[in-house]
């Protein structure tokens, strides 16, 4: 049986882009030659986008569904809402501003069918402001280092996921989330393909500078509590250095006399640094607790069970009795 496809698009004040988005995505979806659906999630738009989405859903029964959020929940939460209502075996996400060509959907789906759980995409010749490209480069490098998953473009939301991975993501209860990082947690095989990238068709980016910073913190904290641990290491470093500094002062004091040591002022510094370092260690220790609390309140499932082979104990006895009575 051919796998069905759900395309999920978050929409936030994208009125001017919607007609073109619908036209191109419908064409791409129909070209897949298999059951598919388009889920348009309105993320609390105030420009009439939601009415347009409703109209599209009514005009394309069986193909287009509109999900309207009551207020702005953020791009990633809007996508999760789409995931929760999607019925396809393969789920594809796409931006509404036509920066990602919908025509690439077919290639993403084909990659999943090769056996990958997650297919990312790398924007070739990315058409965004220079500061965003440099910033992204740094963030991507950091994510690669700390997750060990070699993907090059976490910001690109033209992606495909196997249903199993999406279902696991949906069980995560955390409020701030970054979908591509979350997906890596559950996927066994991840790959990426190069895709084209266009300038935003109309309107301006829905991410203000502050919202962008906030998104980066979502990415960082959904991935690691490393920054908290860093505090302890910095503290240990400062304390250790101050002990060495103290020892050096002691030696120099005997070599050059009390006059040289500024009547003990330097020694005070050594003592001060020791305590400054100790404070960082204490903060870092607190961070370890905060990090764990953060982990617990997220209530992420600890594992994703693939299948069960063989039965044991009670089950076996039950089978045995049914077999003998049969
Ligand atoms: N978006 C959303 N909610 C938000 C911000 C953005 O649903 O709070 C959608 C937006 O409509 C678009 C996608 O997320 O479909 C990516 O946003 P945008 O193109 O503004 O981001 P950029 O390309 O500048 O990173
Ligand atoms: Mg965009």
Task: Extract the tokens encoding 284.
Answer: 């870092």
In ligand 1, the atom with minimum distance to the C-alpha of 12 is 11
What's residue 56's pLDDT? 95
pLDDT of residue 161: 97
Secondary structure letter of residue 291 according to DSSP: H
Q: What is the pLDDT of residue 304?
A: 65
Helix axes 163-170 and 75-85, enclosed angle (nearest 10): 120
Nearest-atom number in ligand 1 for the CA of 43 is 7
pLDDT at 326: 40
- The predicted pLDDT at position 205 comes to 92
Domains of the chain by range and CATH? Answer: 5-223+300-325 (3.90.550.10)
pLDDT of residue 311: 65
24-29 contacts, C-beta under 8 A, 24 or more apart: 24/98, 24/101, 24/102, 24/103, 25/94, 25/102, 25/105, 26/60, 26/63, 26/64, 27/102, 28/102, 28/103, 28/105, 28/106, 29/5, 29/63, 29/102, 29/105
Angle between helices 179-186 and 130-147 (to 10 degrees): 20
pLDDT for the residue 324? 45
pLDDT by residue for the chain (326 residues), tens digit each? 789 999 999 999 999 999 999 999 999 999 999 999 999 999 999 999 999 999 999 999 899 999 999 989 899 999 999 999 999 999 999 999 999 999 999 999 999 999 999 999 999 988 888 888 888 888 888 878 777 777 788 889 999 999 999 999 999 887 778 899 889 889 999 999 999 999 998 999 999 988 888 888 888 877 777 777 787 888 888 888 888 988 888 888 888 877 776 777 778 888 888 888 888 888 888 888 888 888 778 777 766 666 776 666 666 555 555 544 44
Integer angstrom CA distances of residue 4 from 39, 66, 113, 163, 318: 13, 18, 11, 10, 38
Q: What is the secondary structure of 97-166 as a DSSP string?
A: TSSS-GGGHHHHHHHHHTT-SEEEEEETT--S-HHHHHHHHHHHHHHHHHH----S-TT---EEEEHHHH
Nearest atom (ligand 1) to Cα of 200 = 19
11 has which bridge partners? 42
Q: And the tokens for 36? A: 């598919």
Helix (H) or strand (E) holding 190: strand 190-195
Ligand (nearest to CA of 94)? 1
| Token pair recorded at residue 251 | 């030696």
Tokens of 296: 């617990």
CB half-sphere exposure, 235, CA atoms < 13 A: 19
Stated as kind and residue range, the H or E segment containing 90 is strand 90-93
Q: Among 7, 12, 136, which is best to mutate for testing ligand 1, by the most ligand atoms less than 8 A from CB?
A: 12
What per-residue confidence (pLDDT) applies to 275? 86
Q: How far is the CA of 150 from the centre of ligand 1 (A)?
A: 25
Tens-digit pLDDT profile for residues 161-217: 999 999 999 998 877 788 998 898 899 999 999 999 999 989 999 999 888 888 888
Mean pLDDT over all residues of the chain? Answer: 87
- Predicted confidence (pLDDT) per residue in 198-211, tens digit: 999 899 999 998 88
Q: Which residue ranges have their beta carbon within 6 Å of ligand 1?
A: 10-12, 14, 43, 72, 74-75, 78, 95-97, 99, 205-207
Ligand nearest to the CA of 49: 1
């Amino acid at each position: 049986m051919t796998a069905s496809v759900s395309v999920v698009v978050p929409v936030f004040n994208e009125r001017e882009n919607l007609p073109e988005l619908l036209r191109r995505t419908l064409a791409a979806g129909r070209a897949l030659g298999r059951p598919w659906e388009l889920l348009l999630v309105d993320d609390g738009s105030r420009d009439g986008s939601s009415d347009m989405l409703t109209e599209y859903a009514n005009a394309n029964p069986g193909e287009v569904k509109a999900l309207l959020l009551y207020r702005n929940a953020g791009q990633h939460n809007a996508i999760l809402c789409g995931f929760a209502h999607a019925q396809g075996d393969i789920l594809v996400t796409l931006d509404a501003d036509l920066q990602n060509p919908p025509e690439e959907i077919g290639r993403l789906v084909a990659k999943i069918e090769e056996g990958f759980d997650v297919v990312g995409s790398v924007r070739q010749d990315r058409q965004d402001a220079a500061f965003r490209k440099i910033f992204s480069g740094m963030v991507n490098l950091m994510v690669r280092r700390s997750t060990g998953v070699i993907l090059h473009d976490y910001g690109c939301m033209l992606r495909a996921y196997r249903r199993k991975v999406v279902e696991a993501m949906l069980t995560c209860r955390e409020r701030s989330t970054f979908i591509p990082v979350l997906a890596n947690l559950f996927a066994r095989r991840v790959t990426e393909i190069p895709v084209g990238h266009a300038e935003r068709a109309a309107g301006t980016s829905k991410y203000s500078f502050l919202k962008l910073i906030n998104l980066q913190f979502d990415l960082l904290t959904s991935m690691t509590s490393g920054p908290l641990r860093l505090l302890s290491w910095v503290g240990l470093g400062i304390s250790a250095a101050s002990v060495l500094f103290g020892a050096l002062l002691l030696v120099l004091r005997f070599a050059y006399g009390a006059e040289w040591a500024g009547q003990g002022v330097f020694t005070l510094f050594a003592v001060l640094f020791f305590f400054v370092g100790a404070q960082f260690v204490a903060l870092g220790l607190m961070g370890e607790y905060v990090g764990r609390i953060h982990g617990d309140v997220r209530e992420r499932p600890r594992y994703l069970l693939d299948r069960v082979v063989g039965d044991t104990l009670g089950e076996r006895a039950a089978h045995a009795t049914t077999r003998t009575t049969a």
